[in-house]
Amino acid sequence: MARIITQLIDEREIPKYLSGVADIEAEGELDEIDTDSGGWVGAADDGIAINEMDSERCLIKYELWDGPPLPPIRDTWDRTWSGSVRLTSGKVHAVNEHSGDTFYGAEFDLGEKNRVWRVKIHRSFLGHQSLAPDLVGITLINIQFWPDR
């Protein structure tokens, strides 16, 4: 059974215009990555484009697993995507681009350079059903990585 090696909840709330997650040494543009047929997520070397342009606020949780993650006990995710990405440095951060400015989230270290990682991304929008009023309108993004064997 697979287990979580490490995880990080990025405490920096991303206001609107989440572009995706990129290797910290990446030079490429996330908006040049082709997304899936739904226009939500796509991956290329050193980046995962995540189209959350309509989300007012995003919170991201990263997880590093030693194998394919266990399925959620109770599936509350709106969307899920699976794929793979090669990362040069093995360290990633969220990228938020707006009006010509670029902002970066907290760094998550996967511990290995120049490797292909399997990735699963889950998304959930918290509407008025959330228990805390300050969470209404937040989009939760859970990004799970594990080694591609």
Cα(127)–Cα(139) distance, rounded to whole angstroms? 9
Q: How far is CA 106 from the centre of its chain?
A: 12
Q: Per-domain residue ranges for the chain?
A: 4-147
Phi-psi region of 135 (alpha: psi -120 to 50; beta: other; left: phi over 0): alpha
> What's the token pair of residue 45?
């070397």
DSSP 149: -
- pLDDT exceeds cutoff 90 at 102: no
Give me the helices (H) in 2-124, please.
none
Which DSSP category does 114 fall into? S
Are 147 and 115 spatial neighbours (Cβ–Cβ below 8 Å)?
A: yes
Q: Give me the pLDDT at residue 92, please.
A: 97
Query: Which structure tokens are listed for 6?
Result: 């490490």
User: Which residues, 6 or more positions from 134, have their beta carbon under 8 angstroms from its beta carbon?
Assistant: none
CATH tag, 4-147: 2.60.34.30
Residue-wise pLDDT tens digits, 45-95: 999 999 988 788 899 999 999 999 988 777 789 999 999 999 999 999 999
Specify the pLDDT at position 97: 81
Find all residues with CB under 8 Å of 6, minimum gap 6, and list them: 63, 64, 111
Contact (Cβ atoms closer than 8 angstroms) between residue 14 and residue 90: no
- At 101 the three-state DSSP class reads strand
pLDDT of residue 46: 96
